[in-house]
Amino acid sequence: MPEHSKPWRNAPDRKDLPVRLLLLLVVFAVSTAAGYRIIRRVPPLLHTPLMSGMNAISGVTVLGSLAATAAALSTGSRLLGAAAIVLAMINVVGGFVVTDRMLGMFRSKH
Amino acid sequence: MYVLAQIVLAIALLWGIRLMGKTETARLGNRLAAASLLTAIVLVLGRSGTLNMPIILVSLAVGSAIGLILALRITMLQIPQMVALLNGLGGAASLLTALLAVAGGKGTGSLVGPAAGSMAVAVGGVTLGGSLVAAAKLHRLLPQQPVCARANRLIAPVLLVLLGLSVGMAIFPAGFGTMPGLMAVAVCAVAFGVFFALPVGGADMPITISLLNAMSGIAASVCGLVVDDALLVAAGAIVGATGLILTRVMCAAMNRSLFQVLVGASATPATEPVAGIATDESAPPAATPAPGACGASAAFDPVECLLEARRVVIVPGYGMALGEAEALVRDLYEFLERRGVDVKFAIHPVAGRMPGHMTVLLADVDIPYDKMIQLDAINPEFAQTDVAIVVGACDVVNPAAITAKGTPIYGMPILHVHEARRVIVCNADTQPGYSGIENPLYARDNVALLLGNAASTLDNLLKELQLRGHQT
């Protein structure tokens, strides 16, 4: 198994850890600001599809589930991981498909 | 290399979201976002060892299949509960992932894992509990009214304290161990989520859903801190930001503070809040008077005034959805269009059960979106409107919001239907809406009330219009 697939196991050097965390917190702040700027001016017309699409994206947690499950060693944690993946994928696929259906109905006069 | 790919994917995701903000490109944007997420999944799979690959692939397939079936079978009327349900599942996934990651990382001895882990479990749990209750309410498995709002004011703070204590226990596992602490966090969080959604009334749902949506994003983001994945942190944060913006917009449109919504403070405690904004399913549909011969308050003939009208604005509300009258609204729109009438739809941001709910219902029956006009743009037009037709909306057209100082809805932005020359109201009854405030509109003499189920009143109106339209 490649070392980097289980970052929390082979914890980086203690010295490195705060740096990584800080970096991730910066990513968090920048993304929040970017999301805020992009979304601020969306017309109310699109609120429902937007929310439904965002909902699908929140299933991005599947990336974490995958990494964690790949590194799971006991049967219990494998099952836990499998459950997490199933739930997250329902969120991702269901969310994107229903959003696509919704947007497919939107048409203009011309 | 992986970092580079993550950056590219994050930018693609942001670009997709950007495209989703414009009607012309929204569908493309959604697909771009979906594609970048799927690429990210493949990328992570490629980096993972083969040890647990079979179970991973099976789980991916099962989840995708269930999601696909759900998404294809759902009707547009059920979109709010679908979004709430999916939201809850996302929260649950974040909860489980954080548990799993911390369980695998016991040996690191740092505080980051347990601290971020318990945060992720807490936010994920609240999202799960809250979303499932919201979905059940929207699907009418639970009553729409605020449930046990009074008891909630005692229970919720207690649960919050317990939640805080268990988070502390998970981070500083003096004798207890991290895992039992996290389990306690999970239980408290889910319970808190349930009690936080129970007292929310039906018409406050758009706010609740927006908030839960934001929380599912934050849960994913914190989960990203736990498993050390920058893309997860970024995507979750974006969802969180959007959800918070929508929450603010919804609160402003309802003239409610977030706090009022959360403690279930119904607008007027004295009156029992009515479930639908204006329509109640249980209302006897038989009481539908024929148009023309209708109730005492009609100082004019609605059919005749519609046949003479040049400019008409239709105002849909949750009652239209309840009465499943969308197709008839479309027929009415097409009938008027064919006669050369200028017809527009006025969309209030909180009409319905989720942000933009009316838009989706109208689009479902092929109403072009450039006919749907938002609050600020349509309000100046009411003064030049011959007839405004209200279909199952009450609070969002209640002029008391402008005139009645001291009432809870005073200051809430409304659609200025009362400025139109004539108003036809197709509501179930003249009961106050969710706010509990009487609507003075009904008593005016330029307002005709067609009471009853929206579908049957519209059907009658349409038949009469077609009949008399031919004669003239």
Residues B437-455 have a mean pLDDT of: 86
Q: How far apart are CA B72 and CA A97, in angstroms?
A: 7
- Res B160 pLDDT > 90: no
Interface of A with B in 5-64 (CB under 8 A): 5-9, 11, 14, 17, 20-21, 23-25, 27-36, 38-64
| Residue B45 exposed, middle or buried by CB count within 10 Å (0-12, 13-18, 19+) | middle
pLDDT band of B284, cuts 50, 70, 90: very low
Of A6, A7, A102, the CB nearest to B360: A102
Interchain proximity B67–A21, CB inside 8 Å: no
Of B22, B101, B246, the CB nearest to A51: B246
Q: How far apart are CA B75 and CA B361, in angstroms?
A: 10
Q: What is the pLDDT of residue B372?
A: 92
pLDDT band of B111, cuts 50, 70, 90: low
Q: What is the pLDDT of residue B271?
A: 36
Interchain proximity A48–B224, CB inside 8 Å: no
Q: What is the pLDDT of residue A5?
A: 41
Q: What is the pLDDT of residue A36?
A: 85
Q: What is the pLDDT of residue A71?
A: 84
Tell me the nearest-neighbour CA distance from B364 into chain A, angstroms. 6
Closest CA to A29 of B15, B118, B241, B115: B241
| Mean pLDDT, chain B, integer | 83
Candidate from A27-36, B81-90, B404-413, B416-425 with smallest mean pLDDT:
B404-413
Q: How far apart are CA B172 and CA B213, in angstroms?
A: 30
Contacts of A17 in chain B (CB under 8 A): 110, 112
Kindly list the catalytic residues of B.
395
Contacts of B134 in chain A (CB under 8 A): none
- Res B323 pLDDT > 80: yes
pLDDT band of B438, cuts 50, 70, 90: confident
> A87, A101, A108, A110: best mutation site toward chain B, by most B Cβ within 10 Å?
A87
- Res B154 pLDDT > 80: no
Contacts of B179 in chain A (CB under 8 A): none
Of A14, A43, A100, the CB nearest to B374: A43
- Res B297 pLDDT > 90: no
Over residues A33-50, the pLDDT tens digits come to: 988 888 877 888 888 899
Interchain proximity A61–B232, CB inside 8 Å: yes
Q: B373: which residues sit within 8 A by CB, 6+ positions away?
A: B344, B345, B346, B347, B381
* More confident: A13 or B205: B205
Q: What is the pLDDT of residue B235?
A: 92
Over residues B197-236, the pLDDT tens digits come to: 888 877 788 888 899 999 999 999 998 888 888 899 999 9
Candidate from A88-92, B62-66, B358-362 with smallest mean pLDDT:
B358-362
Q: What is the pLDDT of residue A17?
A: 66
Q: How far apart are CA B394 and CA B337, in angstroms?
A: 26
Q: B138: which residues sit within 8 A by CB, 6+ positions away?
A: B80, B81, B84, B205, B353
Over residues B186-198, the pLDDT tens digits come to: 888 898 888 888 8
Q: What SS3 class is residue A34?
A: helix
pLDDT band of B22, cuts 50, 70, 90: confident
Q: What is the pLDDT of residue A4?
A: 44
Q: What is the pLDDT of residue B277?
A: 36
- Res B37 pLDDT > 80: yes
Of B99, B210, B221, the CB nearest to A28: B221
Interchain proximity B47–A46, CB inside 8 Å: no
Q: What is the pLDDT of residue A20?
A: 77
* More confident: B272 or B219: B219
Q: Yes or no: say if B459 and B328 are a contact pair by the CB < 8 Å rule.
A: yes
Contacts of B29 in chain A (CB under 8 A): 53
pLDDT band of B452, cuts 50, 70, 90: confident
